[in-house]
Chain A
């Protein structure tokens, strides 16, 4: 029913989609956290610059960002391959939203705990590593998983710069065989499966955290 060639192509596309999304999520989360931390009190210029960055990136479609990074940056001397450009696009795109998520949680964090940590002689960094971050991470996890699914749903944008992700595989198989139903339905099912997996994983994590710590 499903030819071997089609199955192989779809598998390749799925792998690419997952790879570029995972890389984007991983780097984006780190970048977002760094941006949220740097945005704290202190360096006014840095805070303003980050605020502008976040505002612009949150307003930019992923497709446009991909074209800018892959076609535009080389004019500045920074040329990368399509896959790296795709990862970079997703990273930058999600970092702006991640920064807001982290910032909200960091702001909400009770001052009392931080002050208690300092009273115990912890340095800024130690307090962050052992007290602040673990709790903020837990509280932010629903929003973070939501952002992950949003990134996955934005990942087909990398097809316009030549990355052969799942969506592009479906388009290509359709335009070669003139039979669009099989490839597109396969791709749709796979996307839904991945999203459902992420949501289920998030619910499991949430339940386990609530059970262990009493609260998120």
Chain B
């Protein structure tokens, strides 16, 4: 009979849950701001993509890639704490634009539209869009053979916004754009390419090269389908002092050779001739 009071501490449990929840939430609330706010706060929050080899990805449960090594160096270089959030691409830039993160420490590429809401650092690598196809697929020998074929790219990527450029390119060659599938991450798209659900994938030249290096017998690099563009880190528009702070860091890594070494290690080759300021696609200057 003495089991009626089994939950004697219900009120206590409720109170404890509320307190713990509040503490956990409070410990995680991080509002981003310009460099002064960061210095006052004592920490900076950077966001990195979770599945974009070779720039940033997870290997055996641990973050790896070019951007992660740069992040480690930044942590030592910065006079304050640097915290990192790893999440899917689709939330990254929006998080910076809405102030959830200070920096998109990621290999996003510069586009006209993004430049309206974000300020970019100097480039970290070339991001020109190429197509990749299955090795041995004889139907595709040049860009005009892409006409009508189903293809894939990443959801929320710069290429998604620049598809009209590719469409115009194909139409000029007498063809048309086939059906497009938008994948959560490029590895998903590449896997579907191997399966045959799409006939080509449009991605940046660096992840394609990385893919071909890892799986040489299965894929083949095609041609560039859009004008040259660059990967760069991004901050909310207006946070120029924060952007200059990051540029200072990146500039140092380029001058002392670390950047070239990391690029060789992760990207397969270095990019010594990158511009020292962010550039819009086609090497157009920023409208500052």
Task: State if A and B touch, Cβ cutoff 8 Å.
Answer: yes
Question: Closest CB-CB distance, A84 to chain B, in whole Å?
Answer: 5
Q: Is B28 an interface position by the 8 A CB rule?
A: yes
Chain A residues, CB < 8 A from B227: none
Nearest B residue to A78 by beta-carbon distance? B29
Contact check: which of B28, B95, B187 meets A84 at CB < 8 Å?
Answer: B28
Contact check: which of B14, B17, B25 meets A78 at CB < 8 Å?
Answer: B25
Question: Closest CB-CB distance, A213 to chain B, in whole Å?
Answer: 9
State in angstroms the CA–CA spacing of A96 and B39 once bound together.
42
Nearest A residue to B218 by beta-carbon distance? A178
Q: Is B61 an interface position by the 8 A CB rule?
A: yes
Among A12, A174, A175, the one with the most B-chain Cβ atoms within 10 Å of its Cβ is: A175
State in angstroms the CA–CA spacing of A160 and B215 once bound together.
26
Question: Closest CB-CB distance, B235 to chain A, in whole Å?
Answer: 16
Nearest B residue to A135 by beta-carbon distance? B4
Chain B residues, CB < 8 A from A30: 13-14, 17
State in angstroms the CA–CA spacing of A84 and B24 once bound together.
8
Q: Is B50 an interface position by the 8 A CB rule?
A: yes
Chain A residues, CB < 8 A from B58: 164, 172
A-contact 0/1 string along B1-23, CB 8 Å cutoff: 00111111011011001000100
Q: Is B286 an interface position by the 8 A CB rule?
A: no
Chain A residues, CB < 8 A from B50: 162, 164
Q: Is B113 an interface position by the 8 A CB rule?
A: no
B184 and A160 form a contact (CB under 8 A): yes
Q: Is B91 an interface position by the 8 A CB rule?
A: yes
B7 and A133 form a contact (CB under 8 A): yes
Contact check: which of A12, A71, A79, A137 meets B90 at CB < 8 Å?
Answer: A71
Nearest B residue to A30 by beta-carbon distance? B17
A172 and B17 form a contact (CB under 8 A): no
Task: Pull 28 A–B residue pairs with CB atoms less than 8 Å apart, ordered by A.
Answer: A26-B17, A27-B17, A34-B14, A70-B91, A71-B90, A74-B99, A75-B98, A75-B100, A79-B28, A79-B100, A80-B24, A80-B28, A80-B29, A81-B28, A82-B87, A84-B25, A125-B11, A131-B4, A133-B10, A134-B5, A162-B86, A164-B58, A164-B61, A172-B51, A175-B187, A175-B188, A175-B191, A178-B215
